[in-house]
Amino acid sequence: MANKKWPEDWQDVTPGCIVFEPGSASQYHTGSWRAQKPIWDNTKCIKCGVCYIYCPEGCIIEREDGFFEANLDYCKGCGICAHECWPLAIKMVEEG
Amino acid sequence: MGIRKGMEIALAAAEAVALCRPDVVAAYPITPNTHIPEHLSDIVAEGRLDAEFICVESEHSALSACMGASGAGARVFTATSSQGLLYMAEIMSIASSMRLPVVMALGNRALSGPLNIWNDHSDIMSQRDTGWISLFAAHGQEVIDMMIQAFKIAENRDVMLPINVNLDGFQLTHVVEVMDFPTQEEVDEFLPVYKPFASLHPDHPCSMGTLGLPEIYSEATRAREAAVVNSKKTILKVWDEWEKRFGRKYEPIQSYKMKGAEIAMLTMGSMGETAEVAIDALREKGVPIGLLKLVLWRPFPYEELKKAVKGVKSLIVMDRCVSFGGPGGPVASEIRSALYNEAGCPDITNYIFGLGGRDVAVEDFIKMIDQVRLADKKRPKEHYEFYGVRGE
């Protein structure tokens, strides 16, 4: 495994658990914690970017067409984007 | 050759630390260790030591500043006592978990309350399980030597752990002794410039103090335990080198008149000096008694202890700390547990004494030893006994 998530054994733990690979936290997909996911209704979205600004995970991206979507590898389903979206374009739906 | 001079031990500790050329000293004054950082700040102000002396607003900040500096690759030092150590408690375990070689002088003092500034070992015992190496000095010379040894042990690549050098408050910190000071050249030769395993530098990015989820916390803790246990090898090597260079021998347990001893007393810290005099007096009367001075508290020297008590029928363990509602003082509990499965395990008596600066004289040691050796064997024995407390 090139990028294994955890050291196999305790002997493989680096001294002080120091991480030498910058940005390696991105290998940990926190999206697995999610119970609900945000769904955008782009007929209501006015492309204001409030969801993008408020997302605490920084996982909402602006697409080329100016609409927004969440990277579900990291979205924890907190619902802040839906709460802040004043045109009510975002709905939180249960994960199947 | 070193320089022999008389000095207050706290000042001597500061001089010894200065010889180690720390880059950063962060400490907050608290009796009885105050003279150590105070004198170091003088040394920095006089220009004798090129170090950053950080006047922090608390002990919590002192240890945090040391860790930050250590993470950036600096050689660091701090000192504290009692409540100050408890204020560091939140950070203590993080320092060892991050494997940062912070060196601390701990002027042992009783914990409040009632508020008390004098000596016992309740401060360090409360922080026993934080993954630090712990050494106990019996007199001024050991304080100087251990301060210098501490940097070499802590910074060794096979160790990379914080270390506290325990010196009894007042009994050691405020006492003037004649001591041998190594020269700057000798210390420079003994203690190389610190080269950190990793440091916070933009050219070599790394993350320290990361989150450990349940999937990794157990492995990380097991690895830290292994590091503490394995540090003994390096400690012994450093002591061996120290003896070769400076002629003074250090061992995890120092034996005094143990040849043919059937009774042994085990002490930690400065009380060992007083106990030696008591042992001398009893030996002169023909009592087969010896003294064991526990120098290395963490990692605990199991093998050395087992070897030291071979042939001993009765072992008297002295504790300057209470484990309220527990099975005895912390030292005795560990000694009992360490020897439990040993064939011929000596009968163990535990005295709790010398709390909060209560003076213990030579006669007190003799009285305690006599109580044990002349005791009515039929009388049921308590797990531990307080000595020198008024009231039945």
Tokens of B110: 């009783």
Ordered domains of chain A (ranges, CATH): 30-94 (3.30.70.20)
- A7 → chain B, closest CA residue: B216
Question: A17, B220: Cβ pair inside 8 Å?
Answer: yes
Residue B133 has pLDDT above 70, yes or no: yes
Q: What pLDDT digit, counting tens, does each position of A87-96 carry?
A: 999 999 998 7
The owner of tokens 């080329």 is: A64
pTM: 0.92
Q: What is the largest CA-CA distance in chain A?
A: 54
**Residue B101: its chain A contacts at CB < 8 A?**
none
Prediction ipTM score: 0.84
CA distance A17 to chain B (A): 7
Q: Which long-range contacts (CB under 8 A, 24 or more apart) does B365-372 make?
A: B365/B265, B365/B274, B365/B275, B365/B277, B365/B278, B365/B279, B366/B278, B366/B281, B366/B282, B368/B265, B368/B316, B369/B263, B369/B265, B369/B278, B369/B282, B369/B287, B369/B289, B369/B316, B372/B263, B372/B314, B372/B316
CA–CA dist B56, B37 (Å, integer) = 12
Q: What is the mean pLDDT of residues B22-33?
A: 97
Q: Are A68 and A62 in contact (CB under 8 A)?
A: yes
Question: A20, B218: Cβ pair inside 8 Å?
Answer: no
CA–CA dist A18, B168 (Å, integer) = 35
Ordered domains of chain B (ranges, CATH): 3-246 (3.40.50.970), 253-386 (3.40.50.920)
Q: What pLDDT digit, counting tens, does each position of B277-315 carry?
A: 999 999 999 999 999 999 999 999 999 999 999 999 999
CA–CA dist B11, B33 (Å, integer) = 10
Best probe of the B interface among A6, A11, A13, by most B CBs < 10 A, is: A13
Cα distance from N-terminal residue to C-terminal residue, chain B: 55
Q: Is B100 on the interface with A (CB under 8 A)?
A: yes
Using CB atoms, which residue from B99, B216, B223 is nearest to A6? B216
- Indicate the burial class of B383 (C-beta count within 10 angstroms; 0-12, 13-18, 19 or more): middle
Q: What pLDDT digit, counting tens, does each position of B166-219 carry?
A: 999 999 999 999 999 999 999 999 999 999 999 998 888 899 998 898 989 999
SS3 A94: strand
**DSSP alpha helices (H): ranges in A1-96?**
50-54, 80-84
The owner of tokens 């912070």 is: B102
